Structure 1
Amino acid sequence: MLMEVLGSALLGLALSAAAVRRLESRLPSRRVVLVSGVLGALFGAYLTRFALGPGHSTLLATLIGAVLVSAVVLSLLLRPARGPRRRPHGAPFSLPSRG
């Protein structure tokens, strides 16, 4: 059980550090991302262990569940990319005026 907790926390930290390094401009502060990644991984490990039941949990399955939930939590922190945006030509579903 201790290996699952430590492993999932380290995997969450590594995943969030990679996200900060790769997508720094689209994420909030570094501290928020690191804490969210670790907490998401810990929750994912707990959720996976609970879903598998007491006799069927393995270390690998728990770590995979931790990484998946951590990735979902980190994806919720992403902001849209800033880039050139097109302005719409007209309001959608509007009728042309004759004036």
Structure 2
Amino acid sequence: MLLMEALGSGLLGLALAGTASRILATRLPSTRTVLVSGVVGALFGAYLTHMSLGPGHNTLFATLLGGAGVSAVVLSLLLRPAAGPGRSPRRTPFSLSSGG
């Protein structure tokens, strides 16, 4: 059962990351970073869900749902703001504004 949870979560995280990298390609870093982050987030989420449910309450659906949730959170942390009108496309991290 544990192998099915790990494989299912890994594939679910890969699918979620692949979809995000196709749809939001301009707002995400390199595809390799997105795919690795999605899979690692899903595996960590599955582990966290499996351990928090405890013995005797391990269901495959709940574990996959937890893995997908953590993977989505990790992928959302990789998003950069969209460059819109009046917004500079690149800004150095932790920079202070020069306007007064």
Same fold (TM over 0.5): yes
Aligned structure 1 segments of 4 or more residues deviating by more than 4 angstroms: none
Report how many residues are paired: 88
Instruction: Give the 3-state SS of the residue equivalent to 2:26 in structure 1.
Output: helix
Instruction: Give the 3-state SS of the residue equivalent to 1:8 in structure 2.
Output: helix
Q: Structure 1 unaligned segments of length 5 or more: list them.
A: 92-99
In the TM superposition, 1:1-99 aligns within 5 A as: 1-85=2-86
Query: After superposition, what is the alpha-carbon deviation per residue over 1:25-63, rounded to whole angstroms, capped at 9, x for unaligned?
Result: 000000000000000000000000011001101000000
Instruction: Give the 3-state SS of the residue equivalent to 1:66 in structure 2.
Output: helix
Normalised to the residue count of structure 2, the TM-score between the two structures is 0.85
Greater Rg by CA = 1
Normalised to the residue count of structure 1, the TM-score between the two structures is 0.86
Q: Structure 2 unaligned segments of length 5 or more: list them.
A: 88-98
> 2: CA distance between counterparts of 1:36 and 1:54?
28
Measured after TM superposition, the shift of residue 75 of structure 1 is 0.1
Identity %: 72
> 2: CA distance between counterparts of 1:85 and 1:10?
40
